[in-house]
């Protein structure tokens, strides 16, 4: 048994996420956590909401609410949706927690003690109309890199380039729309990442087996142009972690807060403290401090590709620069983008399916299965309603659902609602068991390597193998001549249902739970030895016929939904 710390990139607080966000970190992280728990490992799986920064302020203002109240409400909304999708976080924290505030101030203090933080005077955009300094996100203009007209002050949404507001062409205030801006002197703290460049470079080089997508992005940032840049870590805002040096005030920094990208990843640690303070765990340090037992923890992070720089460079800079024995990430799993029906998901235009809407039209398992089996791992992938309908109907209804339905109903009608006795396994059964054993090894290898599409394909193949066996063995025909032989076939098939439930639980936990409940068993032992697993449910063990596991998606539904989610969410 090993110990696994798993974090999903923390979703921003302002609004409900779409399915592209879900498959970009939370859902695959949940798959991995469930799989490792299923294998008997000790897992701490954490996620939280990312609550600071200007978008939260802007969204709260739009909603006409104080920002703390807005964040508390949206946290609940996101937590409920996470529950709805079966995301099995051990704790769903908040970056605005007291724990994160203290820890962020602590890190700033030790980084300053280590000579890695510098105060710099700089010119910043001041808006006369708004009578305030404008943080990056309150300024928009034309991207100097790609000429996109609505680039934000901190990043261009079109080309992804990180920007400074002064780089923008024709900048204006997003509060008032005013272009009456001037550059004024103000002081900010900078994290001297350039001093940590070699340490980070060596650390990345020492990692083996990271995905190319992850390392190539990190290396580009480390070496392109002038290399890793120092980063401003404070902002002129009221909502955020107040700038302090540990427990002490920081003269000259009054009224400023830490930049959201400084405090957000620290929440990964603070979230474990919140987990303990919420009474769910008793020791966060054995997960996070290598001097307190975390040296045997394997730490895996999940994120979309746009978040890779912050996880490979910024957060490691904070941790490495502290000189303290914090657990560092062992493996980063990053994802490309999921596109929607010939374009992009768009939060602002309401294009695509959002988490709340998804659960209104179908149970979570449909979405989980489709998104995971088509995860954008090696390249961007695309959601289309045709593909979604085809895959769900085929994999879930025709293959898995149909197998369960045929086996249980046949047994009930010809034998009883108990695992039937009689007969012995022959050649066909042995061949199936061998085939499943081989496929199980491939499934485990794919899951261990977090190759999600491959794992889904192996799982699907195991479902299909059961169906093919049933089709070839034809117990409904055998029963007429040799009821004992049919009983052996059905006994095997009923055991397969339990095995499928255990193996499928990481992908489709709700359906897996229904299958176990229909099989009237709490036995979730991993079927490492198929020969033993196929006889786990003994002769005479009672079961019940489950309700239809997966209804089919009709053409009418597909058309209705394609129309409904084409754009313009109210």
H/E stretch holding 119 reads strand 117-127
Q: Which span sits near Zn ion by CB under 5 A: 62-70, 139-147, 195-203, 512-520?
A: 139-147
Q: State in angstroms the smallest separation of the CB of 151 from Zn ion.
A: 5
Q: Which span sits near Zn ion by CB under 5 A: 141-149, 382-390, 510-518, 540-548?
A: 141-149
Measured between alpha carbons, how far is 54 from 32 in angstroms, rounded to an integer? 33
Torsion angle (degrees, nearest 10) of CA 370, 375, 379, 383:
30
**Judged by CB under 5 A, does residue 143 bind Zn ion?**
yes
Burial of 63 (0-12, 13-18, 19+ CB in 10 A): middle
Q: State in angstroms the smallest separation of the CB of 221 from Zn ion.
A: 17
Nearer to Zn ion, 159 or 445 (CB): 159
Nearer to Zn ion, 169 or 428 (CB): 169
Q: State in angstroms the smallest separation of the CB of 153 from Zn ion.
A: 12
**Judged by CB under 5 A, does residue 159 bind Zn ion?**
yes
Q: State in angstroms the smallest separation of the CB of 158 from Zn ion.
A: 5
* Residues 27/87, Cβ–Cβ less than 8 Å: yes
Measured between alpha carbons, how far is 324 from 339 in angstroms, rounded to an integer? 41
**Judged by CB under 5 A, does residue 123 bind Zn ion?**
no
Residue 203 CB coordination number (10 Å): 17
Rg (CA), the chain: 27
**Judged by CB under 5 A, does residue 169 bind Zn ion?**
no
**Three-state DSSP state, 534:** coil
Q: State in angstroms the smallest separation of the CB of 163 from Zn ion.
A: 8
**Judged by CB under 5 A, does residue 168 bind Zn ion?**
no
Measured between alpha carbons, how far is 341 from 351 in angstroms, rounded to an integer? 9
* Residues 104/247, Cβ–Cβ less than 8 Å: no
Please select the residue that binds Zn ion; options are 39, 84, 132, 148, rule is CB under 5 A: 148
Nearer to Zn ion, 155 or 290 (CB): 155
Quick one: tokens of 359? 């659960």
Q: Which span sits near Zn ion by CB under 5 A: 83-91, 136-144, 465-473, 546-554?
A: 136-144
CA distances (Å), 174 to each of 2, 124, 125, 283, in order? 50, 15, 12, 45
**Judged by CB under 5 A, does residue 145 bind Zn ion?**
yes
**Judged by CB under 5 A, does residue 155 bind Zn ion?**
no
Task: State the number of binding residues for Zn ion (CB under 5 A).
Answer: 7
**Judged by CB under 5 A, does residue 146 bind Zn ion?**
yes
Backbone angles phi, psi at 446, to 5 degrees: -65, -40
Measured between alpha carbons, how far is 135 from 235 in angstroms, rounded to an integer? 6
Please select the residue that binds Zn ion; options are 114, 155, 158, 357, rule is CB under 5 A: 158
Q: Which span sits near Zn ion by CB under 5 A: 24-32, 146-154, 250-258, 357-365?
A: 146-154
Nearer to Zn ion, 141 or 211 (CB): 141
Q: Give the chain's largest Cα–Cα span.
A: 93
Q: Which span sits near Zn ion by CB under 5 A: 82-90, 156-164, 211-219, 275-283?
A: 156-164
Q: Where do contacts with Zn ion occur on this chain (CB under 5 A)? A: 143, 145-146, 148, 156, 158-159
């Amino acid at each position: 048994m090993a110990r696994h710390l798993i974090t999903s990139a923390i979703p921003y607080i302002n609004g409900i996420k779409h399915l592209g966000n879900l498959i970009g970190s939370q859902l695959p992280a949940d798959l991995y956590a469930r799989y490792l728990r299923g294998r008997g490992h000790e897992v701490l799986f954490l996620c939280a909401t990312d609550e600071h920064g200007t978008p939260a302020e802007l969204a709260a203002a739009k909603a006409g609410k104080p920002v703390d109240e807005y964040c508390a409400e949206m946290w609940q909304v996101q937590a409920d949706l996470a529950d709805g999708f079966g995301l099995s976080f051990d704790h769903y924290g908040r970056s605005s927690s007291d724990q994160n505030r203290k820890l962020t101030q602590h890190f700033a203090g030790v980084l300053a003690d280590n000579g890695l933080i510098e105060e710099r005077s700089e010119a910043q955009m001041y808006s006369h109309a708004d009578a305030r300094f404008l943080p990056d996100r309150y300024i928009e203009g034309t991207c100097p890199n790609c000429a996109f007209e609505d680039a934000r002050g901190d990043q261009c949404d079109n080309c992804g380039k990180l920007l400074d507001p002064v780089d923008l062409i024709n900048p204006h205030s997003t509060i008032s729309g005013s272009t009456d801006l001037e550059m004024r002197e103000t002081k900010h703290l900078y994290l001297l990442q350039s001093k940590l460049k070699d340490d980070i470079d060596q650390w990345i080089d020492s990692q083996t087996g990271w995905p190319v997508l992850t390392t190539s992005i990190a290396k580009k940032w480390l070496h392109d142009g002038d290399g890793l840049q120092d980063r401003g870590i404070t902002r002129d805002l009221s909502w955020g972690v107040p700038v302090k040096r540990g427990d002490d005030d920081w003269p000259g920094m009054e009224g400023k807060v830490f930049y959201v990208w400084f405090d957000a990843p620290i929440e990964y640690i603070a979230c474990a403290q919140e987990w303990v303070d919420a009474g769910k765990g008793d020791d966060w340090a054995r997960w996070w401090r290598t001097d307190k037992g975390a040296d045997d923890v394997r730490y895996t992070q999940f994120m979309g590709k746009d978040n890779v720089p912050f996880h490979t460079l910024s957060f490691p800079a904070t941790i490495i620069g502290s000189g303290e024995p914090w657990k560092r990430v062992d493996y980063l799993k990053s994802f490309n983008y999921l596109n929607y029906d010939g374009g992009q998901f768009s939060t602002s235009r309401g294009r695509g399916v959002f988490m709340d809407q998804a659960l209104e039209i179908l149970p979570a398992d449909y979405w989980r299965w489709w998104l995971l089996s088509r995860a954008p791992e090696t390249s961007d992938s695309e959601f289309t309603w045709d593909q979604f309908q085809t895959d769900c109907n085929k994999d879930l209804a025709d293959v898995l659902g149909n197998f369960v339905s045929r086996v249980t109903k046949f047994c009930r009608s010809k034998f009883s609602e108990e695992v039937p006795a009689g007969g012995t396994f022959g050649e066909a059964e042995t061949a199936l068991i061998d085939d499943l054993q081989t496929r199980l090894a491939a499934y485990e290898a794919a899951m261990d390597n977090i190759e999600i599409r491959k794992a889904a394909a192996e799982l699907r193949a195991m479902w299909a193998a059961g169906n093919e066996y049933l089709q070839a063995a034809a117990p409904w025909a055998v029963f007429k001549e040799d009821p004992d032989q049919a009983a052996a076939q059905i006994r095997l098939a009923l055991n397969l249902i339990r095995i499928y439930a255990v193996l499928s639980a990481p992908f489709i936990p709700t359906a897996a739970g229904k299958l176990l409940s229909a099989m009237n068993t709490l036995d979730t032992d991993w079927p490492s030895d198929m020969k033993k697993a196929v006889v786990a449910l003994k002769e005479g063990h009672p079961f019940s016929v489950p309700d239809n596991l997966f209804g089919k998606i009709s053409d009418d539904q597909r058309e209705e939904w394609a129309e409904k989610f084409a754009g313009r969410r109210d």
